[in-house]
Amino acid sequence: MKLLRDAKERADIQADRLLQRALARVLEGDWFERHPEAARTTGKRCALLLRCLEREQAGLAALTAPSGGFFVWAALPDGVDTDALLVECARHGVANIPGSAFYPPPHTPAELPAGLHHALVRGAEGSMARLGRATRATVRLSLA
């Protein structure tokens, strides 16, 4: 690898050398071989999270699966206050980030990000059930 790196550095003085060295370090270790399994695990978490959200948010939200990110987005009915949902989530023992944290004011759509951290295989069902109860309570209050 050292010979290849040295030859590359002599031939290409325009590329970002720090980035190239970082990439070489990654390829020298075992991360690259372990990555596909980690990606499959993330895919399983995402599928589990989507199944739980589809069950718990049925009729409340339109879900958008991540296409490279770590959140499943739930679009709630217009007028739902996701900041109030944060408080309701705390009452139900589930952590979440209000959608308003992702948008600059005054544009704060009624969207709820559900992170893949919720989909740890143990506890996903209970976590999403609590999120569903909190969401239903907030939707009722916001639209009343």
Map out the domains of the chain with their CATH numbers: 2-143 (3.90.1150.10)
Q: Output 54 or 124, whichever has higher pLDDT.
A: 54
Instruction: Over range 106-125, report the average pLDDT.
Output: 72
Confidence at residue 122, expressed as pLDDT on a 0 to 100 scale? 66
Confidence at residue 15, expressed as pLDDT on a 0 to 100 scale? 73
Residue 20, pLDDT above cutoff 70: yes
Residue 91, pLDDT above cutoff 90: yes
Number of Cβ within a 10 Å radius of residue 132: 20
pTM higher than 0.75? no
Report residue 36 as tokens. 């596909």
Confidence at residue 118, expressed as pLDDT on a 0 to 100 scale? 61
Contact indicator for 113, 126 with CB cutoff of 8 Å: no
Q: How far apart are CA 144 and CA 138, in angstroms?
A: 10
* Percent of all residues in the chain with a pLDDT value above 90, rounded to a whole number: 6
Residue 117, pLDDT above cutoff 80: no
Residue 58, φ and ψ in degrees, nearest 5: -55, 125
